[in-house]
Amino acid sequence: MKDIYIIPIFIPHLGCPHKCIFCNQDEITGLKSTVDEEFVDNTIKEYLKTIPRESHIEVSFYGGSFTGIPLEKQKKFLRIAEKYINSGEIDAIRLSTRPDYIDETILENLKKYGVSIIELGVQSMDKEVLLKSLRGHTDEDVRKASRLIKQYGFTLGLQMMIGLPGDNRQKSLKTADEIISLQPEFVRIYPTLVVKGTYLEKMYRVGMYNPIDLEAAVELSKILYIKFKKNDIDVIRIGLQATDDINVNGDVVAGPFHPAFGQLVKSSIVKDILDSIFHNNNIKNGLVDIYTNPRSASIIIGQKRKNKIYLEKKYDIEIKLIQMADIPKDNVYIGFNGQLYKDSIENYINKATI
């Protein structure tokens, strides 16, 4: 499989008619400069200098709401990206937008310029949460837009958030079920952060909003991850990417921020796998060898050795981690008293009854 490289073009607030309660796009994207055609062209050129051509390369228009930009400006940006499609220097064009800025005319224009992937910022399918978050669209807008996007042959991605005002575990799980029914090819899961300069910050400062804590966010995201994967929906990101601004020492005021949030979620899954193997096979009171691919070692041990400490204390064991390159990634082999036990994240998810 080819490595996938994304050339990100951030267009904060261009075309976006709403200021959602959680949104400060300038800070989230880390971009405060003007975006024009020259910027788009130069960005693509600079990225291409560092990306091996045997990779799969996509130009992605992030931030704001691309299809809310005046049509002529959309065309100018898309012509630049299309030029690199035609020259064979990139392989795909993708963009993110709002559900209420999708219709037949918009999709026909995107198809004309070679766009193949569309992500919708869904955030929630709960009416109260959408209203309290000042999203400015309805759950029905999401359904209509998703059906149209798939009807026109685009790859569909949907983004959801947990911990928004009015949200709870039950509503997030229901949103996930609704997203699954729309059959996107991939999803992103974002825990809500309180960012400087947002209305959510004002609510937080006066006690009108309490963010979900990190442990609860990881646990809920784990369940969502399993639900999506069990339904053959790829989860391409969990948690916002850390930047100079999006960081505990930057513009994150409160909320479940962690620079490796997705790793915390996978590590929690692995802890459940190991716990199940140890319990079901009476593994205790001794030395346990855990064999893994080097790329999976950190999620097995856990952040600050959390998984290792938990298992050693619970089962009165000593864990020795042995890294072997020929073990498939996200697989775990356990050696104890001459017996070898195996499992993997994929197998665990397939067996899960969530």
Give the model confidence (pLDDT) of 223-260 as tens digits.
999 999 999 999 999 998 766 567 666 789 999 999 99
How high is the pLDDT of residue 245? 64
Contact 77, 112 (CB under 8 A): no
Mean predicted confidence (pLDDT) in 306-320: 97
29 pLDDT more than 90: no
59 close to 7: Cβ distance less than 8 angstroms: yes
Q: Same structural domain for residues 147 and 91?
A: yes
Q: Which runs of E-coded beta strand occur in the chain?
A: 4-10, 56-62, 92-97, 115-123, 155-162, 186-191, 194-195, 234-238, 252-254, 286-292, 317-323, 331-336, 339-344
Regarding whether 229 and 118 lie in a shared domain, the answer is yes
Last residue of a domain, one of 234, 259, 284: 259
Asked whether 266 and 299 are in contact (CB, 8 A), the reply is yes
- 208, 240, 259: which is the final residue of a domain? 259
Task: State the pLDDT at residue 24.
Answer: 74
Domain boundary among 239, 259, 279: 259
Pair (169, 69) in one structural domain? yes
The answer on 17 and 166 residing in a single domain is: yes
pLDDT in tens, 211-225: 999 999 999 999 999
Domain shared by 235 and 156, yes or no: yes
Q: pLDDT band at residue 27, thresholds of 50, 70 and 90?
A: very low
Give the percent of the chain with pLDDT over 90: 84
Strand partners, 254: 194
The beta strand positions in 250-304, using DSSP E, are 252-254, 286-292
pLDDT at 25 exceeding the cut of 70: no
Cα maximum dimension of the chain: 70
**What whole-number distance in Å separates Cα of residue 133 and Cα of residue 200?**
9
Amino acid letter at 247?
N
Determine the pLDDT at residue 307.
Answer: 97
Residues 296 and 166 in one domain: no
240 and 292 share a domain? no
Q: Are residues 275 and 243 in the same domain?
A: no
One domain, residues 228 and 276: no
User: What tokens were used for 289?
Assistant: 């060898």
Question: Mean pLDDT in the chain?
Answer: 92
**Same domain for 285 and 235:** no
Average pLDDT in the 11-24 region? 70
Do both 145 and 210 map to the same domain?
Answer: yes
How far apart CA 237 and CA 343 sit, in angstroms, is 23
* Confidence band for 192, pLDDT divided at 50, 70 and 90: very high
Which amino acid appears at position 132 of this protein? Answer: K
CATH of the domain at 154: 3.20.20.70
Beta strands in 163-316 (DSSP E): 186-191, 194-195, 234-238, 252-254, 286-292
What CATH number does residue 273 fall under? 3.30.2320
Domain range for 20: 4-259
Q: Same domain for 160 and 128?
A: yes
Mean pLDDT calculated for residue range 72-95: 96
Q: Work out how many domains the chain is built from and give that number.
A: 2
Q: Give the pLDDT band of residue 18 (cuts 50, 70, 90).
A: low
Average pLDDT of the segment spanning 111-126: 96
